Amino acid sequence: MSVTRLLQRQILPLDRDSDVLPLYVDNQAAILDADKYEVGSDKTAQALNNAQIRQSINDGTQIHPDQIESRTSLRVLKSERLSLGTYFNAFPASYWRRHTVVDDVKLTVSLQGRGASVIVYKSMANGRSQRVDAADTGTNPEGTFTFDLPLKPFVDGGWYWYDVVASDEDAVITSAEWTAEVPDDRAEHGTVDICVTTMNKPDFCAKLLAQMGEDEQLRPYLDTVFVMEQGTKKVADDVEFPAAEKALGDLLHIIEQGNLGGSGGYARGQLESLRKGTATYALMMDDDVVCEPEGIIRAITFGDLAKRPTIVGGHMFSLYAKSRLHSYGEIVQPWRFWWQSAPGVFGDWDFGARNLRSTRWLHKRVDVDFNGWFMCLIPRKVIEEIGLSLPVFIKWDDSEYGLRAKEAGFPTVSFPGAAVWHVPWTDKNDALDWQSYFHQRNRFVAALLHSIYDDGGRMVTESFSHQIKHLVSMQYSTVLLRHQALLDVLAGPEKLHETLATQLPAVREMVKGFPDAELEADRDAFPPVRRHKPPRKGKDDTAVPTNREVKLAALKAPIRQLMKPRKLSTEFPEAELAAMDNQWYRITKYDSAIVSMNDQQGAAFYRRDKKLFNQMLKDTIKVHRQLKRRWPKLAEEYRAKLGEVTSPEAWEKTFEPWKVAEEKGTDGNRS
């Protein structure tokens, strides 16, 4: 026995925002000139994304938002052609073929308008498209057309989509649906607990809650919406909250606890979902995103029909440039043990300039190791078997979880058509501030748990190299934090829970008094620049250096540390560097400098300290030798304790101080 299930439907933007229209509907040509740029050369492929050549596909014309008739209906102006071969409306056939029980799909398109035609296409993994079928209304004022489409030809990649062409009168695509016959034990859709961790972003969070609660299509899929409130600016106090509360009603549960970071917030959501036991999935979602509610439905549907319990992640678009795809699929590179885009994936891809149909790399299926928890659907069965988040506050909790699930036989799929808009991490530099501690510690913890190489591959060597770069760059507070992180790694996994609530204040206290950690918002708070001598031939330090110049800087940097800083440098900065110019091979030329931060919120007065450099260098050498020597036994220790530290019981103890005996708040929905 089988039943029909809706896999995906045609959708249009909720707010008719012209910036996001290219993600839903496209009237540009599909010029697959990628042969010249993407085959065999990553550099030229990225140049295609960044350079003006991509503008040749977008001639500047735009679909007018008034052509959107409803959430599912679109007007095609007379004599024009529109394509639904877009991020949100093309059908990602290869993902369905690889990971689900679906073998064939059916596309049903309803049109209004005489002479209107629908043309169905498919693509191959190399991006080349083929016309599959077509139909038209002829002299009839309307028509509904059905196309039976097999998934067999999509082993490595490929999409299905359709174009609609209007004749001498407007046409309207009133609806389009992708359905499939599935086993009757897959007839019912699953439900989801949304787990949102929030920290002093009440306006963002309240709007997100209202957005989910007001979507009528999403409502039947929601079991509970948990908000882990960890800030001092409460979402319940925001002016937007009453609308969210009204929309979600008794589905909304706000849990107040101390600041336990993202991992503590998401683990609480996982625990509550697990303990409640009524939802099929728990969806991790950031508080500062704008979501496409239909993407949540699609992720649940994909999870329902997956061959085995599967983590289904969404993609990330930039909140500031909404047609730009920021994160499409990520892996942990095993030798370096560092997260990066999956092979063949290019970041910051602008669909407003180059459409899906003409972008070769988007047609090959992308396999990943993990998905960021800005949007990530985790089956309850997975949580029951592998446990909750690692108690690491922030950084590497989502990637470690994906690796842990993969080792247990549960794949992660970063699923096209499920996405959020989020602040891209390219606008941040969390390798220099307090977050550098968590980056360093948690990366090593994850490597000890999951690295397939002796001594973690390149981990120890690369860490030592980075410490030297920070030292010669006068970033002493960062060196201290990264050093303390390694000491805490060597101390073993026992204190991860114990220090979860206290580590952030301890880290911030640790760097007090370090000049590079003392930020000022006003540039005039610092003395003026005074150089000991003018720059050679009037050259500044913003030019891109040659390889020879970089190597020369690497040779000079250690020698420079043997010399005393110039007298004036302790009182007056010798240079002023923008964040984008703050590279080690530039800053090592100076004994002091004003350096602005990546977030553009302030700057710091870096000053070279010979004595501090020498001591920190000794400490750095010592701790990396210890890591190298102890790695095998340390890895055994962390792996043996993993089940214990990620267990519901361990997390229950961590949450105990913030649990209350009775419910409080509005209508009993806060606990």
How far from 6 is each of 161, 313, 315, CA to CA, in Å?
Answer: 16, 20, 21
Residue at token pair 């012209």: 18
Q: Return the structure tokens found at 51.
A: 């350079």
298-328 burial, b for 16+ CB within 10 Å, e for fewer? bbbbbbbbbeebbbbbbbbbbbeebbbbbbb
Q: What is the rounded distance in angstroms from the CA atom of residue 437 to the CA atom of residue 443?
A: 10
Whole-number Cα distances in Å, 542 to 556, 577, 581, 587: 19, 9, 6, 11
Name the residue among 368, 371, 320 with its Cα closest to residue 348. Answer: 320
- H-helix or E-strand spanning residue 340: strand 338-341
Judging by beta carbons within 10 Å of its beta carbon (0-12, 13-18, 19+), is residue 54 exposed, middle or buried? buried
Q: Residue 380 in 3-state DSSP?
A: helix
Residues with Cβ within 8 Å of 172's Cβ and at least 6 positions away in sequence, in order, are: 69, 73, 74, 75, 76, 111, 112, 113
- The alpha carbon torsion through 180, 183, 184, 189 (nearest 10 deg) reads -60
- Cα–Cα distance, 402 to 35 (Å, whole number): 34
Element counts in the chain: helices (H) and strands (E):
17, 24
Whole-Å CA distances, 415 to 4, 96, 105, 305, 316: 22, 10, 17, 13, 11
Cβ-proximal residues to 629 (8 Å cutoff; 6+ apart), any chain: none
Cα–Cα nearest to 654, from 499, 494, 507: 499
DSSP string, 42-84: HHHHHHHHHSGGGGGT--S----GGGB-SSS-EEE-TT-EEE-
Angle at 644 between CA 643 and CA 646, to 5 degrees: 70
CA distances from 172 to 75, 146, 339, 378, 619 (A): 4, 17, 44, 38, 70
What does the alpha-carbon distance between residue 205 and residue 201 come to, in Å, rounded to a whole number?
A: 6
d(CA 508, CA 50): 38
Distance CA 117, CA 145 (A): 10
CA distances from 79 to 26, 64, 167, 352 (A): 15, 15, 5, 23
d(CA 312, CA 330): 13
Residues making up the chain, counted from first to last: 671
Q: What is the dihedral of CA 29, 32, 33, 36, to 10 degrees?
A: 160
Radius of gyration of the chain (CA): 27
Active-site residue among 136, 223, 304, 398?
398
Question: Is 239 exposed, middle or buried (CB count within 10 Å of its CB: 0-12, 13-18, 19+)?
Answer: exposed
Residue 223 catalytic? no
For residue 423, the 8-state DSSP code is -
Provide the token pair at 37: 């740029």
* CA dist list (Å): 45 to 195, 367, 416, 524, 544: 37, 20, 21, 43, 21
Beta pairing class for 281-286 and 192-198: parallel
Residues marked as catalytic: 398
